[in-house]
């Protein structure tokens, strides 16, 4: 039996740092940190929460090891973004649990459409999104340097 307890918690005062450290870890490994990353990850409350979005964290035992956000685009559309799982916590299905949490949260809050941006070189992530019903749609130019795929799911 797995002794590791995984819990999804909401962003709260004093939890500003993990979203930055978790995202920087994978961005530095696979891509580079963009200006928009620095702005949103350095001020998550102002840039995400205060603009109508939500931030979730995954705790493994007592450590925050994953994060994911719902970024408000309009009243019915949110972007799943800022998803990151610490390398030393991979293999616990934390990315899957965060995605499922976002999907359930969106349904419960009458969000109609979820979109996300990713990169096809992140094959496990793309596979996960497809498994949960996301499909590729046309991507606007110049939003994120590292993104080469935009996906959507209607709820």
pTM for the complete prediction? Answer: 0.94
Measured CA to CA in angstroms, residue 56 lies from 1, 30, 138 at distances of 26, 22, 27
Residue 143 confidence (pLDDT)? 77
pLDDT digits (tens, 9 = 90+) for 70-129: 999 999 999 999 999 999 998 899 999 999 999 999 999 999 999 999 999 999 999 999
The per-residue DSSP string of 63-112 comes to EEEEEEEEEESSSSEEEEEEEEE-GGGTTS-HHHHHHHHHHHHHHHTT--
Average pLDDT, the chain: 94
pLDDT digits (tens, 9 = 90+) for 17-30: 999 999 999 999 98
């Amino acid at each position: 039996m797995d002794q590791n307890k995984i819990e999804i918690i909401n962003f709260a005062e004093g939890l500003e740092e993990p979203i930055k450290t978790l995202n920087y870890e994978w961005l530095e490994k696979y891509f580079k940190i963009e200006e928009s990353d620095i702005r949103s990850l350095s001020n998550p409350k102002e840039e995400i929460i205060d603009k109508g979005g939500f931030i979730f964290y995954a705790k493994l035992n007592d450590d925050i090891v994953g994060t994911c956000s719902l970024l408000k685009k309009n009243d019915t559309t949110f972007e799943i973004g800022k998803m990151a799982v610490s390398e030393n916590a991979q293999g616990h299905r934390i990315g899957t649990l965060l995605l499922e949490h976002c999907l359930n949260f969106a349904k419960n809050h009458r969000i109609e459409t979820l979109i996300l941006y990713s990169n096809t070189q992140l094959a496990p992530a793309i596979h996960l999104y497809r498994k949960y019903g996301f499909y590729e749609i046309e991507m606007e130019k110049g939003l994120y340097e590292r993104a080469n795929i935009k996906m959507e799911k209607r709820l």
